[in-house]
């Protein structure tokens, strides 16, 4: 495709032709940012830049593959293959394979996924004898993750009294100790978690100037898509690598920044301009994706955000249809509406399933949609939830494979040492763990030296451990000569894993056996693909790829087109002709956990902006009057986002009351005089009438769901109420008197004289004090 430049508008073309130096494109949704990035790479190659010298970072590996295909169409597949392209995690995992030994890690280090990390943290909390209700493993992990993404090492943590105080205030004083133990155990297991892939990359680049120089020299051109969602750790890697040649091009949209809860930082966009004073800034304003109605409706919503960069988005596309709003009585009804509507649209317009997407705020909303689609025999595919590679039977096999590559991998070993059951009980595993910790060795090393360690186990158990060890050692030797498929097949036979499932005989077990077969098929495909591409097809390469799969990546090419179901977070960068955004209710979207500060609410609004701008032709917004949440039927109010859309772009649908369901509609108060056809009232008109009722019925989320804001500078709601002399109550220290106040906003502190606990200095943001 020689005329690729002709498929760009003048602004896009300019950005593609700007070859050297730092540049930034901040532009609205659907304005061709990703397209510019793609053609820029093709153009660089056409102007003589070696593919090996180009590094391109994308949001999913799938996005990278698609970009590569487009580039291949311009420059040829054999050249495109040499590009460094992928997510931050996959690219830097690959680099760490070559450099990990410098940090004391084996080059065949394991990558722990979230499940592994949670299991390890759970084990540590238990071993330390801590209360698992106070130290919730997922919360502790997310705290540790936030340290790592801010490059706060264990040592830095213990040198930072503010951080320690925050954990103390959150009644989790041992977080630092858990962090230290977690890092030690990962290291001993030769394992890195997702955050380590970035943290350790930063570490190796900072500590080894020759390593930094090597990659700076290699990556002469660096491109980053979805730059608004990079976290500090990623930002630092990019900055370090680009430092020498400064040929860095980042594209993003501040209005689509939706990962601040994972440490992404809008500030990165602003810092970019400071880091590179001679940066060239490009604007793209024309949207090619959506109809005028959709573009304008999305603009009318995002306008309400105070924190945003100035930019216009317009389109020369048709007006298109109005955005359709639908209210239903229940979440089940909402699902049936969506399924019926997809069915009708398919019939009326002769469309395929893959032209439709259903987007929701939380993964749990998919169930009602699935049920309804299944009943209508509409094929669908869910992204998110438990992915294929997280299923137990699959993780068990993968754990065996991991163990063959890296026998020190503690999480893998613990998973399989007694699966399928071979009579090695929890007590024995505990004894092994204690011995491993004591000798500072891995459990596998202990197994190898059972004769030298007094584990106080009986001869029978010892034999079982010995047999397990021998099997793994034998398989390890086979793994050196067999390819990934053959070794997986051998593992399944040797461990009798499938036999074990088959003897179970339940339908669940049958489906598990099918999954195992599917895994083997996947490994076969992997080997074929990689061999064809001339790339590494080893077991190590396979495990790495699988560990870094996101659900979108695992999307296998299937001949049957399917409706896509996914959370809005996952939908970033994608586009579909027909989009259904469901569950537009207060406390669900915006989420009850994200309404405490303006910045949280603005992030929810950006999320809504992302959702709406995925639609090319038609967008449907649905909400329901009642919904099951946390096992209870609750009444819902329409989302404020519905009211924020300029009414000119909306159309309220007129549902026919289903025969036989009329009474239900009347009961729910939806129809004033059913069964005649009636238009739904618009939320705005309904608002007043509902206010009274809402007061009675509005759902208040359970207290423990309220998240303490860690980013806001505004502090919590209590700040301003507290003054010197107040008597306050703390849920651990009891009652006390405020003696002194200092600092402001998030840093506001109080010195309090407690009756029994003595004098304490507390950060108000975390202290949750009640004035009494």
What residue ranges bind Mg ion (CB under 5 A)?
33-34, 573
Q: Is residue 226 flagged as an active site residue?
A: yes
Catalytic residue chosen out of the listed positions 195, 226, 409, 585: 226
Catalytic residue chosen out of the listed positions 185, 200, 336, 614: 614
Residue 611 engages ligand ATP in binding (rule: CB under 6 A) = no
Catalytic residue chosen out of the listed positions 33, 346, 361, 748: 33
Burial of 463 (0-12, 13-18, 19+ CB in 10 A): exposed
* Closest distance of CB 649 from ligand ATP, Å: 19
Site string for ligand ATP, 194-233 (x = CB under 6 A): ----------------------------------------
* Closest distance of CB 35 from Mg ion, Å: 8
> Quick one: 573 or 736, whose CB is closer to ligand ATP?
573
> Quick one: 378 or 612, whose CB is closer to Mg ion?
612
- The H-or-E segment that residue 338 falls in is helix 331-349
Give the residue carrying structure tokens 């030298």: 452
Residue 566 engages ligand ATP in binding (rule: CB under 6 A) = no
> Quick one: 15 or 501, whose CB is closer to Mg ion?
15
Q: Enumerate residues 6+ apart whose C-beta is below 8 A from 525.
A: none
* Closest distance of CB 767 from ligand ATP, Å: 41
517 touches which of Mg ion, ligand ATP, none (CB within 5 to 8 A by kind)?
Answer: none
Catalytic residue chosen out of the listed positions 228, 234, 256, 570: 256
31 touches which of ligand ATP, Mg ion, none (CB within 5 to 8 A by kind)?
Answer: ligand ATP
Reduce the DSSP state of residue 467 to 3 states and report it: helix
Provide the Cα torsion 304, 307, 310, 311; round to 10°: -60
35 touches which of Mg ion, ligand ATP, none (CB within 5 to 8 A by kind)?
Answer: ligand ATP
In the region spanning residues 35 to 74, those forming contacts with ligand ATP, defined by CB under 6 A, are 35
Under rule CB under 6 A, how many of the chain's residues touch ligand ATP?
18
What number of other Cβ atoms are within 10 A of residue 144's Cβ? Answer: 23
DSSP 474-522: HHHHHHHHS-HHHHHHHHHHHTTHHHHHHHH-SHHHHHHHHHHHHHHHH
* Closest distance of CB 94 from Mg ion, Å: 23
Binding-site members for ATP are: 27-34
CB-based contact 305:255 (threshold 8 Å): yes
602 touches which of ligand ATP, Mg ion, none (CB within 5 to 8 A by kind)?
Answer: none
7 touches which of ligand ATP, Mg ion, none (CB within 5 to 8 A by kind)?
Answer: ligand ATP
Q: Is residue 350 flagged as an active site residue?
A: no
In the region spanning residues 275 to 294, those forming contacts with ligand ATP, defined by CB under 6 A, are 288-289
Catalytic residue chosen out of the listed positions 12, 34, 315, 570: 34
* Closest distance of CB 88 from ligand ATP, Å: 17
Residue 33 engages ligand ATP in binding (rule: CB under 6 A) = yes
585 touches which of Mg ion, ligand ATP, none (CB within 5 to 8 A by kind)?
Answer: none
Phi, psi dihedral angles at 635 (to 5 degrees)? -85, 145
The residue at minimum Cβ distance from Mg ion is 34
Q: Enumerate residues 6+ apart whose C-beta is below 8 A from 631.
A: none
Reduce the DSSP state of residue 563 to 3 states and report it: strand
Token pair for residue 522? Answer: 């996947």
Of these, 4, 15, 23, 34, which contacts ligand ATP (CB under 6 A)?
34
> Is the peptide bond prior to 392 cis by the omega test (within 30 degrees of 0)?
no
Site string for ligand ATP, 2-31 (x = CB under 6 A): -----xxx--x--------------x-xxx
252 touches which of ligand ATP, Mg ion, none (CB within 5 to 8 A by kind)?
Answer: none
Closest CA to 317 of 616, 36, 35, 649: 616
* Closest distance of CB 305 from ligand ATP, Å: 16
Please, which contacts does 437-442 make with residues 24 or more away whose CB atoms are closer than 8 Å? 437/127, 440/188, 441/188, 442/188, 442/189, 442/407, 442/408, 442/410, 442/413
Closest CA to 70 of 16, 130, 143: 16
Name the region of 456 (left: φ>0; alpha: ψ -120 to 50; beta: rest). left
CB-based contact 603:643 (threshold 8 Å): no
Q: Enumerate residues 6+ apart whose C-beta is below 8 A from 700.
A: none
> Quick one: 44 or 378, whose CB is closer to ligand ATP?
44
- Return d(Cα 71, Cα 76) in angstroms, integer: 7
Residue 32 engages ligand ATP in binding (rule: CB under 6 A) = yes
* Closest distance of CB 601 from ligand ATP, Å: 21
* Closest distance of CB 710 from Mg ion, Å: 28
Token pair for residue 526? Answer: 């992997």
Binding-site members are: 27-34
* Closest distance of CB 569 from Mg ion, Å: 15
Q: Is residue 614 flagged as an active site residue?
A: yes
8 touches which of Mg ion, ligand ATP, none (CB within 5 to 8 A by kind)?
Answer: ligand ATP
Token pair for residue 407? Answer: 């026998």
Question: 604-615 b/e with 16+ CB inside 10 Å = b?
Answer: bbbbbbbbbbbb
Q: Residue 425: how many CA atoms within 13 Å on its side-chain side? A: 5
> Quick one: 284 or 497, whose CB is closer to Mg ion?
284
* Closest distance of CB 59 from Mg ion, Å: 8
> Quick one: 196 or 253, whose CB is closer to ligand ATP?
253
Site string for ligand ATP, 516-555 (x = CB under 6 A): ----------------------------------------
- Return d(Cα 522, Cα 556) in angstroms, integer: 9
> Quick one: 12 or 110, whose CB is closer to ligand ATP?
12
Closest CA to 394 of 529, 534, 520, 561: 520
In the region spanning residues 253 to 272, those forming contacts with ligand ATP, defined by CB under 6 A, are 253, 256
> Quick one: 335 or 573, whose CB is closer to Mg ion?
573
> Quick one: 33 or 68, whose CB is closer to Mg ion?
33
- Return d(Cα 389, Cα 380) in angstroms, integer: 19
- Return d(Cα 426, Cα 127) in angstroms, integer: 13
What pairing do the DSSP bridges indicate for beta strands 54-57 and 280-282? Answer: unpaired
> Quick one: 7 or 723, whose CB is closer to ligand ATP?
7
Q: Is residue 340 flagged as an active site residue?
A: no
* Closest distance of CB 613 from ligand ATP, Å: 6
What number of other Cβ atoms are within 10 A of residue 258's Cβ? Answer: 23
Q: Enumerate residues 6+ apart whose C-beta is below 8 A from 147.
A: 153, 157, 163, 179
> Quick one: 8 or 85, whose CB is closer to ligand ATP?
8
Catalytic residue chosen out of the listed positions 225, 553, 586, 603: 225
CB-based contact 754:735 (threshold 8 Å): yes
Helix, strand, coil % over all residues of the chain, rounded to 5: 55, 15, 30
Residue 315 engages ligand ATP in binding (rule: CB under 6 A) = no
Looking at the annotation, which residues are catalytic? 33-34, 225-226, 256, 614
Interacting residues toward ligand ATP by CB under 6 A: 7-9, 12, 27, 29-35, 253, 256, 288-289, 573, 575
């Amino acid at each position: 495709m020689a005329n690729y430049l002709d498929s760009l508008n003048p602004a896009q073309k300019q950005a593609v032709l700007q070859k050297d130096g730092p540049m930034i494109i901040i532009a609205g949704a659907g304005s061709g940012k990703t397209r510019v990035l793609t053609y820029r790479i093709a153009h660089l190659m056409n102007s003589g830049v070696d593919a090996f010298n180009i590094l391109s970072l994308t949001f999913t590996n799938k996005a990278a593959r698609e970009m590569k295909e487009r580039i291949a169409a311009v420059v040829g597949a054999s050249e495109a293959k040499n590009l460094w392209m992928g997510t931050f995690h996959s690219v830097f995992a690959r680099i760490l394979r070559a450099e990990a030994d410098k940090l004391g890690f084996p080059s065949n280090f394991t990558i722990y996924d979230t499940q592994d990390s949670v299991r390890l943290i759970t084990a540590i909390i238990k071993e330390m004898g801590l209360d698992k209700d106070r130290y919730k493993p997922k919360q502790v992990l997310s705290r540790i993750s936030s340290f790592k993404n801010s490059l706060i090492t264990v040592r830095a943590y213990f040198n930072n009294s503010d951080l320690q105080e925050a954990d103390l205030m959150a009644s989790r004083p041992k977080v630092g100790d858990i962090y230290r133990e977690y890092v030690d155990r990962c290291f001993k297991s030769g394992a890195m978690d997702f955050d380590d892939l970035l943290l350790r990359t930063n570490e190796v680049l900072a500590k080894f100037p020759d390593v930094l120089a090597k990659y700076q020299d290699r990556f002469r051109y660096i491109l980053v898509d979805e730059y608004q969602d990079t976290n500090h750790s990623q930002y630092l890697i990019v900055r370090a690598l680009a430092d020498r040649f400064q040929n860095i091009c980042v594209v993003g949209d501040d209005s689509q920044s939706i990962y601040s809860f994972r440490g992404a930082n809008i500030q990165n966009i602003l810092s970019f301009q400071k880091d590179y004073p001679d940066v060239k800034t490009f604007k793209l304003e024309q949207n090619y994706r959506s109809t005028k109605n959709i573009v304008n409706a999305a603009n009318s919503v995002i306008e309400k955000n105070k924190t945003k960069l100035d930019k216009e988005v317009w389109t020369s596309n048709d007006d298109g249809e109005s955005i359709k709003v639908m209210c239903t009585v229940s979440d089940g009804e909402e699902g049936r509406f969506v399924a019926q509507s997809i069915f009708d649209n398919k019939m009326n317009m002769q469309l395929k399933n893959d032209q439709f997407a259903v987007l929701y705020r939380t993964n749990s909303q998919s169930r009602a949609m699935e049920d309804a689609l299944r009943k209508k025999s509409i094929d669908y595919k869910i992204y998110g939830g438990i992915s294929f590679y997280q299923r137990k039977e699959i993780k068990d096999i993968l754990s065996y494979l991991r163990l063959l590559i890296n026998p020190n991998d503690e999480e893998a070993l613990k998973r399989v040492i007694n699966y399928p059951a071979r009579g090695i009980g929890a007590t024995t595993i505990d004894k092994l763990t204690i011995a491993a910790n004591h000798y500072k060795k891995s459990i596998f090393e202990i197994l190898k030296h059972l004769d030298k360690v007094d584990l106080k186990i009986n001869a029978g158990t010892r034999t079982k451990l010995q047999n397990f060890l021998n099997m793994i050692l034998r398989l390890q030797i086979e793994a050196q000569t067999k390819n990934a498929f053959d070794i997986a097949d051998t593992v399944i036979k040797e461990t009798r894993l499938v036999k074990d499932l088959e003897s179970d005989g339940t339908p669940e077990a049958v489906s598990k056996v099918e999954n195992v077969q599917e895994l083997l098929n996947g490994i076969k495909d992997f080997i074929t693909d990689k061999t064809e591409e001339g790339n590494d097809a080893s077991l190590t390469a396979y495990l790495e790829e699988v560990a870094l799969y996101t659900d979108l990546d695992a999307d296998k090419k299937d001949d049957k087109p399917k409706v896509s179901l996914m959370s809005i977070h996952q939908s970033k960068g994608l586009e579909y002709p027909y989009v259904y955004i469901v569950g537009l209710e207060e406390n669900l979207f915006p989420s009850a956990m994200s309404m405490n500060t303006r910045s949280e609410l603005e992030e929810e609004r950006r999320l809504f902006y992302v959702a709406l701008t995925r639609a090319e032709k038609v967008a449907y917004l649905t909400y329901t009057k009642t919904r099951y949440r946390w096992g209870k039927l609750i009444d819902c109010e329409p989302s404020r986002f519905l009211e924020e859309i300029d009414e000119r772009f909306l159309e309220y649908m007129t549902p026919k009351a289903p025969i036989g369901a009329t009474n239900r509609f009347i009961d729910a108060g939806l129809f004033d005089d059913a069964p005649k056809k009636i238009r739904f009232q618009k939320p705005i008109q309904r608002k007043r009438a509902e206010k009274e009722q809402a007061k009675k019925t509005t759902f208040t989320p359970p207290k423990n769901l309220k998240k303490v804001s860690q980013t806001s500078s505004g502090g919590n709601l209590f700040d301003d109420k507290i003054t010197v002399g107040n008597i306050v109550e703390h849920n651990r220290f009891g009652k006390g008197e405020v003696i002194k106040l200092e600092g402001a906003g998030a840093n506001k502190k109080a010195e309090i004289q407690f009756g029994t606990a003595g004098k304490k200095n507390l950060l108000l943001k975390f202290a949750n004090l009640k004035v009494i």
